[in-house]
Amino acid sequence: MKSQKSSGGLVYSTELGRTCPECRQAVAHCVCGQKVALPASDGIVRVSRETKGRKGKGVTLVKGVPLDSAALSDLGKQLKAACGCGGTVKEGVIEVQGDHVEVVMAFLQKKGWTVKRAGG
């Protein structure tokens, strides 16, 4: 039987999302100070539009932003305000409701990111 320490512990919870393997708190509320590694990125932010699984309603997706979860949610909030719509941040991807690809790309370029349009 593996011990809890050797198996790595809980990584994801349906209630909390990503969790810290040490203190078992949500990554945003980690009390042990352990830094969770950022996803690998090539330095290019990709912006696309998608309708899959949303009953035909389009959303603008922003992927590849090398920020931690707190900074990513702040950027998502700024993008939603710039577009005047709703949205969310899920698993490192910012979703902005509606077709706002051009607005999002212009906003991110002003912030100094290298931005590419993905998808078509």
Q: What pLDDT, on a 0 to 100 scale, did the predictor assign at position 84? A: 93
| Helix (H/G/I), strand (E/B), else coil: 34 | coil
Residue 2 clears pLDDT 50, i.e. is over it: no
Architecture of domain 44-117: 2-Layer Sandwich (3.30)
Report yes or no: 104 and 58 within 8 Å, Cβ to Cβ.
Answer: no
Share of the chain above pLDDT 70, in %: 77
Residue 90 has pLDDT above 80, yes or no: yes
Tell me the pLDDT band of 18, cut-offs 50, 70 and 90. confident
Segment 49-61, tens digit of pLDDT: 988 888 888 999 9
For residue 79, the model assigns a pLDDT of 93
Mean pLDDT of the 79-105 span: 92
Give the model's pLDDT for residue 77.
94
**Domain segments of the chain as ranges:** 1-36, 44-117
Residue 37 has pLDDT above 60, yes or no: no
Q: What is the spatial distance between Cα 105 and Cα 120, in angstroms, rounded to a whole number?
A: 14
pLDDT of residue 3: 47
The DSSP annotation for 42-91 comes to -SEEEEEEE-TTTTT--EEEEE-----HHHHHHHHHHHHHHHTS-EEEET
Res 1: pLDDT: 46
Mean pLDDT of 94-115: 92
Tell me the CA end-to-end span of the chain in Å, nearest whole number. 50
